[in-house]
Structure 1
Amino acid sequence: MIFQESLGISIGDHQVSLVYVKGTLRGMTCAARGSLNLDPGASLNEKLHAAGLAVVEFLRENNVGNPSIYVGIPPSSAMFKAIEFPSAVRHNLGTTLTYELEKHIPISMEEIYFDHQIIGEAENSRISVLLAVVKRNDLQHYLDFCHRIAMGVNGIEMSSTAVANALIYHLKGKTAGDLGEDFLKLLRGAAPSDTSQSEPVSALMKTFDLPSEDLVAAFGLALKGMQKVSVDINLMPMEYRRRPSRTGHYAMMALAVLVLLSVSAWGASYWMHHKMVSGSLNAELKRLASEMAEITKIHGRIDAVEGQVAALNRLNAAYIPVSDILRELTQILPDTVWVREFSLGGGKIRLDGYADSAPDLISLLEASPIFKDVFFTSAIVKEKDGKERFNISMELESS
């Protein structure tokens, strides 16, 4: 965090707030903050023009270097939804959402930008996913605003997610799920003082000298440029994002080189003093290394034999008749599932077929006493007749 710097810009309906934070040897500090009231009767483009001028003036007045920059937009500009999925799709969640999104959001994929975040574990081996969606036309106004910032912008999110991140940062060790109902209230734009988290937010404001609650969102945005945050949502398309600043990284490298040179100078004198002793020790080490090499070879042969014995034992224990496997699949798979291809080899089973709801198959197969490590080997493809084609891999429980 040392030598890092970050700027958070929170754009609301009536105000733009800015917080500039820097990393020091003592930790993170708020180096500057500011705000500008916006004309409620002005158009969005007029408000963003005024906000752009405020940003330029803020950068000039506070001699801001080359910070990471994150922009927050009003929560009313986006839609939030919490969705549950089988935990098996965790590693293929982006692809799964692409096919499932239109079931949950009444807008076509071509009209939106979206991002997601796993926010907790649900019951029955399922995960809870926070989905954030914004219309492309609505976000374009803010993208145009970002283009006018010469340094470039690293990301765009809702100011409400930034407030949640600021609060979670102050609570230390807490997660979004630990906030309970307050988390969803904050996401929908509720002021922290209107939730049960008003005292922690007041303490955060006192710690970082934030005179107004409106600055908490800007602080949460700046926080994202300093460390990993709990709710990592970024609605800015990848091609528009500025790469993170490497200034702090290079400064740390330079400092490390200086320290290394100092240590090396001290070490050189120490080495010269003990050169004679080191020579005799090296000779003894070479002799011991030769003996150790022989011992290592013997251990290697022993390990190889033990591995062969263990493999034979596993093969003997892993045998399950194919008829039992097919009987188990027939009993647990719904009648609407059509298995087109079944293969078994090396203790692994592959299924290729069609189902009304492919994601539900993972939990059904995981519940079987003879199957384990069930996962999709490719993205689910929705056919013209509404069926979902799937490719599933799993292992036998005793293998």
Structure 2
Amino acid sequence: MKILLLDKFDNFLQWWADGLAQIVPTSWGSRHKQLKQHLLLHYNEKELLIEHFAQVADEATTRHLISTYDESDKKNVQEWLAKSPELSTLPTILRLQSDRILVKRLRYPAAARADLRNVISYDINRQTPFSREDVYFDFEEIATKDASAHIEVDLFLIPKKELEPLESTIKALELRLTAIDISGPTSVSGVNLLPIQSEKKCNQPPYRIWFGLFILWLSLITLIPVKLILDSNATIIHLEQQQKNGITTIQPLKELRDRYAKHVNKSKFLNHLRSKHIGALDLLGEITNLLSDNTWIRRFEFKNGTLRLQGESTNASEILGILDGSPRFSSPTFSSPVTRNNSNGSDRFK
């Protein structure tokens, strides 16, 4: 037997489940789907071309040409972005012509493959006339016959100085690059000259989104026993009304009442489990609000009243002062010395 109110509740749960399926991180799909809607930048020494690719089009739906020396051009594009603020949140790709990129083939022992990016990073000073800090770079491994003994890679780099006029223009437009790739006769796929730490900030879902999804999931599993209770209660009320009218019941009321009581007990048990985790959720929310976007939490452990954090930050020394200023924490300390992550310049703390 179906009751109209419960049917609507079923439809609501189905709608909610479909909605959650649509907001999972885009990194679970293919890269082509991620970049279906994006901004593409083409740059030469004097002009910047911005193209907007919408989800329903394979070609740019909007184009704006900016002179890097003309402030009126920048103002027109700023007005365009202000009218469509969602454009500033799209992936933004800078595409450079291959003739502007320095390419050099390098050869290393096969053992270097496990940490190849760091090996190449340290080798840039020796292999090129530039220092590591003064270039954007990436590499592509080349297939060879003796891959078990040696590996060959093509190193792609461009001096940061060549992109300085562009960076000031992008900053004025309040855009943030997702990737820097290469086009032209020697085009290669999968190359991104943007530093790894910047790429992570652009591509990974913000920490607060994961926290919000967890709260939604917790609310959904709490509603499931509530629906079972409503189903059982509605059936009992209907059968009791039939009994009053002299209609033979299909199932003994006692059995239905027992089922109703079991569902109530299950609901209480789930609520009890949820209350035990409220403390951890509150702490997670406090940490999210206190720490800056320059800090990444790799491990979060709360046990027996003690909170242990492990992660990376551009300035780990300020974390203890920030946590000590919160009434939820007392006497925060580092359990081990802060170390430097040379690959991205951040501090590891624990």
TM-score with structure 2 setting the length:
0.43
Structure number with greater CO (CA < 8 Å, separation at least 6) is 1
TM-score with structure 1 setting the length:
0.39
